[in-house]
Amino acid sequence: MKQSLQLKFGQQLTMTPQLQQAIRLLQLSTLDLQQEIQEALDSNPMLESDDDDFDESLDQTTESNTQSEAPDTKPQENAETSATEESTPDNEWDETIPTELPVDTDWDDTYQPSATLTNAASADDGDYEAHQSSTEESLQDHLTWQLNLTPLSQRDQMIGLTIIDAIEPSGLLSMDALQIHQGLIGQLEEIEEDEVLAVLHRIQQYDPPGVAAQDLSECLLIQLNQLPEDASFVATAKLIVRNYLIQLGSRDYKLIMRRCRIKENELKQVIELIQTLNPRPGDSFGTLDTEYVIPDVFVTKKEHHWAVNLNPDIVPKLRINNEYASLVKRADTSSENTFLKDNLQEARWLLKSLQSRNETLLKVATSIVEKQRGFLDYGPEAMKPLVLHDIAEAVGMHESTISRVTTQKYMHTPKGIFELKYFFSSHVSTESGGECSSTAIRALIKKLVAAENPQKPLSDSKITTLLADQGIKVARRTIAKYRESIGIPASNERKRLV
């Protein structure tokens, strides 16, 4: 083959680092965004935080971009903040920053998000968090502390530690006494199963009540045994927990009343007593990771309009450091001046990206409120079908951009705090030719179940019939899927005594 040179003309779209930054900031949650801003403050000397007061120019931008009304008013496009312009003594050498950043893109695979600070914490932070977690008392620590206070021989102490190690976080044993005994045969000479049972019974009297039980029935019995013998219905509760726990779980009340020779009113009192017991006594120990939801958008009703406002507490309070910006010199190619130029340009791009993020978030939230005013006025039953394409078409952006904006972003409404994705749902056709959203159907199912007769709960087929009477055609298997998604058990599990 003969080698040759050919000249070809073509067009290719590429994503600049600045556009990648704008898209990355757009999809960050509030907590991740705050960490990203803190990292920028630590690494860029041109940026400074203005916690006490907004810079005058940034304050104007915030006021114009954090409030909108639906559906009469729309978010207005704003020019670049004057703080950035004032902080640049001579911007002839600056890269031109557009008024709007084109954060909208339909290339899902052109940008690979980098790990956030949440996943890339420093080693020191990890050690600190590990130390903080280690200070929380676990269930094993609590039981070991009680074991050390119990007057036992060294042999029994070893058996007790083995039993405690076999306790699951729920408080129940992961193996029975026979398995624990077999595991100790090689460690202790001539150990008998009765020795293990004796120590096990001692540990079962520890706090929390019901700990170290071998199954659910034993766990409940341990707690019932700690109640006074003359307490009302304790004896009957022990009988049911010991012999008829499966029937109690399946709501076979007639069988229980016949076998235990009790009346319905007495069975009701016994069930109320059993419901006060804790089937998982160990859940109160250990460290639970609590996640706090910070709303990005507030929705309030003003007269006859729903007003959409960005949360002012999460709007970044950043500005250019004018003192450092004044040190930048024109036509100076020294390394120090180049360093200042680069950081100043990065700071300006970050401010513009944050402004673009706020504008896009507000625009999308306003459009969602316009289309879901029925939900805000009347509740989930008035939720309309909505997909990403509807909002994308309304705001003139691509669906992938709408997906980024609505992920891990929350809206505070009079009905509660919801993720923006909550307002999107598929539709089901009605007999009148209209559409009903799956969220509205779930709300109707929840309403029907709440009003049902507890002695004769509604089956999925009956719910299907009731919805059909309202003009909503839904298959029985769809009703079952929706019912399970909102945590409603089957009809046989909802049956209870009045």
Helix (H) or strand (E) segment spanning residue 337: helix 335-371
CA distance 367 to 444: 25
The predicted pLDDT at position 156 comes to: 93
pLDDT of 361 over the 90 cut: yes
Query: Contact at 8 Å (CB) between 300 and 307?
Result: yes
pLDDT at 89 over 90: no
* pLDDT band, residue 5 (cuts 50/70/90): confident
Phi, psi of 139 (to 5 degrees): -65, -40
Inform me whether the pLDDT recorded for 224 exceeds 70: yes
pLDDT, position 246:
92
What is the pLDDT averaged over residues 4-22? Answer: 72
Q: What pLDDT score does 6 carry? A: 78
Q: What is the pLDDT of residue 493?
A: 80
Contact between 417 and 408 under an 8 Å Cβ cutoff? The reply is no
Instruction: List Cβ neighbours of 189 (8 Å cut-off, separation of 6 or more).
Output: none
Mean pLDDT, rounded, for 470-498? 85
Q: Give pLDDT tens digits for 173-207.
A: 999 989 999 888 878 888 899 999 999 999 999 99
Total count of residues recorded for the chain: 498
Average pLDDT over residues 5-32: 75
How high is the pLDDT of residue 240? Answer: 95
pLDDT range class, residue 153, cuts 50, 70, 90: very high
pLDDT for position 60: 47
What is the maximum span of the chain, computed from C-alpha positions, in angstroms? Answer: 104
* 3-state SS class at 428: strand
In which band, very low, low, confident or very high, does the pLDDT at 371 lie, cut at 50, 70 and 90?
A: very high
* Per-residue pLDDT at 66: 47
pLDDT (tens digit per residue) in 409-459: 999 999 999 999 999 987 676 766 567 888 889 999 999 999 988 888 899
Between the CA of residue 17 and those of 11, 96, 169, 349, what are the distances in Å?
A: 19, 14, 47, 10
Per-residue model confidence (pLDDT) at position 13: 55
Residue 484 has pLDDT above 80, yes or no: yes
Alpha carbon 486 to its chain's center: 16
> 376 with 414: CB under 8 angstroms?
yes
Tell me, what's the pLDDT at 186? 78
Q: Look at residue 222 in the predicted model and tell me its pLDDT.
A: 95
What are 147-154's contacts with CB under 8 Å, separation 24+?
147/203, 147/206, 150/202, 152/199, 152/202
Residue 19 has pLDDT above 60, yes or no: yes
The sign of the CA dihedral 56, 61, 67, 71 is positive
Q: Name the pLDDT band for 269 (thresholds 50, 70, 90).
A: very high
Least confidently predicted of 190-204, 315-329, 349-363 = 315-329
Other CB atoms within 10 Å distance of the CB of residue 225: 14
Banded pLDDT at 474 (limits 50, 70, 90): confident
475 Cβ partners below 8 Å, 6+ apart?
A: 464
- Residue 322 and residue 84 in contact, taking contact as beta carbons nearer than 8 Å: no
Phi then psi dihedrals of residue 341, to 5 deg: -60, -45
Give the span between the Cα atoms of 299 and 360, in whole angstroms: 16
Give percent of the chain with pLDDT exceeding 90. Answer: 38
pLDDT for the residue 426? 79
pLDDT for 326 equals 87
Backbone angles phi, psi at 308, to 5 degrees: -110, 125
Distances (CA, A) of 398 to 22, 357, 381, 391: 15, 15, 29, 9
Mean pLDDT of the chain: 80
Write out pLDDT tens, residues 125-150.
444 344 344 446 889 999 999 999 99
Check whether 59 has a pLDDT greater than 70: no
The closest of 312, 421, 357, 345 to 25, measured between CA atoms, is 357
Q: Please, are residues 94 and 345 in contact by the beta-carbon 8 Å criterion? A: yes
Q: Say yes or no to pLDDT of 78 above 60.
A: no
On the question of pLDDT at 311 being above 70, the answer is yes
pLDDT at 212: 94
Q: Can you tell me the mean pLDDT for 319-345?
A: 86
What is the token pair recorded at 5?
Answer: 């040179």
For residue 14, give both structure tokens: 């590429």
Q: Which domains, from first to last, does the chain contain?
A: 139-284 (no CATH), 375-494 (1.10.10.60)
Omega prior to 457 cis, within 30 of 0 = no
Q: What is the pLDDT of residue 54?
A: 42
Pure H helices in 44-96: 56-65, 82-86
